[in-house]
Amino acid sequence: MATMVMAGQQMERMHSRQLSRRSSVAERNRELFDLQRARRRGPTPEMFFAKPLDNSRIVKADDPERRREMRTFTAVMTLLFALTMVYVWQHFTAIEVGYRVEAQKQQVEQLREQNRQLRLTEAQLSDPGRIDRMAKQLGLDAPLPGQVVLPDGSAMNTGIVLAQAQAPAISLN
């Protein structure tokens, strides 16, 4: 009987080889899968039985050692998490302070440049030669004795003379 089964299997193999030469790869794979499935099952079909389990009467015993281990583990993890968060907070605070310092350095440089520009403008505007040229264009002359008043309110000469503006001279060039 075993020889008949083996001969039958050899015949099936030869037949599948002949078909595989003629058919596509997908068909050949499907045939081989069907043959494997038929061999796995054997002569009897597989049967599965469901066995109901009733765990309602099982009560978990309290394990004080396990509970203590879990509390210790939780405490250690909480402490580790807190330390990590403190480190991260310090790190980000240091980065933020660094950015603020750099921003303030840039602001100081801008203010220094602005101060330099203002001093240069002040020096240009307070140039005596420029002031004399503008005064002559407006028709102003050099002050006469007694026209100069000091900041404390006293005049340089005893005789007080009021400043007078002359009309600008028109030149017809």
Q: What is the pLDDT of residues 107-141, one digit of tens each?
A: 999 999 999 999 999 999 989 889 888 988 988 88
Task: Say how far apart CA 70 and CA 63 lie, in whole Å.
Answer: 11
Question: Which ranges of the chain have pLDDT less than 70?
Answer: 1-11, 13-23, 38-47, 153-173
Q: How much is the pLDDT for 116? A: 97
Question: What's the Cα-to-Cα distance from 84 to each of 17, 80, 93, 96, 109, rounded to whole Å?
Answer: 67, 6, 14, 18, 38
Q: Measured between alpha carbons, how far is 56 from 52 in angstroms, rounded to an integer?
A: 12
Q: How confident is the model at residue 164, as a pLDDT?
A: 61
Give the length of the chain: 173
Nearest to 17 by CA among 25, 6, 28, 9: 28
Residue 22 confidence (pLDDT): 54
Tokens of 100: 């603020």
pLDDT at 109: 97
- Per-residue pLDDT at 56: 82
Supply the DSSP symbol for 52: -
Could you give the CA distance from residue 108 to residue 114 in angstroms, rounded to a whole number? Answer: 10
pLDDT at 55: 83
Its pTM stands at 0.40
CA angle 163, 166, 170 (to 5 degrees): 160
H helix intervals, the chain: 2-22, 25-41, 64-125, 128-137
The residues facing 149 across adjacent strands are 155
Please report the pLDDT score of residue 36 as a whole number. 76
**Model pLDDT, residue 151:** 76
Q: How far apart are CA 120 and CA 114, in angstroms?
A: 10
Task: Look at residue 92 in the predicted model and tell me its pLDDT.
Answer: 97
Confidence at residue 50, expressed as pLDDT on a 0 to 100 scale = 83
